[in-house]
C-alpha cells in the first residue's frame, strides 16, 4: 500500500510532465532577438562575442526543445534573447570606445615616426654600425604609408580595422627602434 501511493504519485507526475508544452513565446522572442542582432552591423562588428553567445544559447535551446526539456529550453531562450539585446545595446558604446582607441593610436604615430627618424639620422652620423640603415629607413617609410592607410580606415568609419592597423604600425616602428638600439649597443661593446 505504501508503495502504491508512491507509484501513483510518480505516474501522476510523469503524466503532468508529458503534458508540458514548449515555451513558444520565449522561443519566438529568442529567434527574433538573435536575428535582429545578427542584422545589426555594429553588433556584428563590435559585440561579436555577445552575438556568438546568443547564437550558442539559441542552439542549446533547440537541442533542449528536441529533447522535450522545455524548462531548460526556456532558460536558453531567455539567455539568447538577453545576449542578443545586450549585443545591440552595447554595440554603440563599444564602437565609440574603439574609435577613441584608433584616434589615440593614430595621433601617437607621428611622434613614433619622428623618434625613429631621429634615431636613424643619429646612427648615420655615428657610423660603423652593423645594420642596414637604408633598409631601416625603407621600413620606416613603409610604416608611415601603413599609418596613412590606418588614417583612411578611421576616416571611412572602419574603426576596428583602423585600430588594428595602427597597433601593427606602432609595433613595426617599435621594432625598427629596437633593431637600431641593439645595433648601437653592439657597436659600443666592440669599442
Range of the domain at 47: 12-93
Do 30 and 87 belong to one domain? yes
**Per-residue pLDDT tens over the stretch 18-41:** 547 999 999 999 999 999 999 999
Hey, what's the torsion of the CAs at 82, 86, 88, 91, to 10 degrees? -160
Do 75 and 126 belong to one domain? no
Q: Among 37, 72, 93, which residue terminates a domain?
A: 93
**Three-state secondary structure call for residue 77:** helix
Bigger pLDDT: 4 vs 45: 45
Q: Among 93, 117, 139, which residue terminates a domain?
A: 93
Number of domains in the chain: 2
Task: Please state, for a pLDDT cut of 90, what percent of the chain lies above it.
Answer: 77
Q: Within 10 Å of residue 21's Cβ, how many Cβ atoms?
A: 6
Do 66 and 137 belong to one domain? no
166-178 burial code (b ≥16 CB/10 A, e <16): beebbebbeebbe
Q: What angle do CA 132, 109, 158 make, to 5 degrees?
A: 120
pLDDT of residue 3: 54
Q: How far apart are CA 128 and CA 180, in angstroms?
A: 12
**Per-residue pLDDT tens over the stretch 89-109:** 999 999 999 999 999 999 999
- Under a CB-based contact definition with an 8 Å cutoff, are residues 159 and 91 in contact? no
Bigger pLDDT: 34 vs 130: 34
**Per-residue pLDDT tens over the stretch 39-89:** 999 999 999 999 999 999 999 999 999 999 999 999 999 999 999 999 999
pLDDT of residue 6: 52
Amino acid at each position: 500500500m505504501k508503495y502504491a501511493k508512491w507509484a501513483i504519485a510518480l505516474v501522476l507526475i510523469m503524466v503532468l510532465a508529458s503534458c508540458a508544452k514548449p515555451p513558444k513565446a520565449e522561443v519566438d522572442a529568442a529567434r527574433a532577438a538573435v536575428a535582429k542582432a545578427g542584422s545589426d552591423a555594429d553588433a556584428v562588428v563590435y559585440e561579436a562575442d555577445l552575438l556568438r553567445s546568443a547564437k550558442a544559447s539559441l542552439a542549446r535551446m533547440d537541442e533542449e526543445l528536441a529533447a522535450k526539456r522545455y524548462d531548460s529550453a526556456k532558460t536558453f531562450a531567455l539567455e539568447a534573447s538577453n545576449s542578443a539585446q545586450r549585443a545591440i545595446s552595447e554595440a554603440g558604446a563599444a564602437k565609440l570606445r574603439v574609435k577613441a582607441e584608433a584616434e589615440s593610436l593614430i595621433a601617437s604615430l607621428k611622434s613614433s615616426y619622428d623618434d625613429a627618424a631621429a634615431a636613424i639620422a643619429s646612427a648615420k652620423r655615428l657610423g660603423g654600425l652593423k645594420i642596414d640603415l637604408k633598409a631601416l629607413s625603407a621600413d620606416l617609410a613603409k610604416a608611415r604609408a601603413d599609418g596613412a592607410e590606418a588614417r583612411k580606415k578611421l576616416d571611412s568609419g572602419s574603426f576596428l580595422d583602423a585600430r588594428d592597423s595602427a597597433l601593427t604600425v606602432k609595433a613595426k616602428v617599435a621594432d625598427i627602434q629596437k633593431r637600431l638600439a641593439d645595433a648601437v649597443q653592439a657597436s659600443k661593446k666592440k669599442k
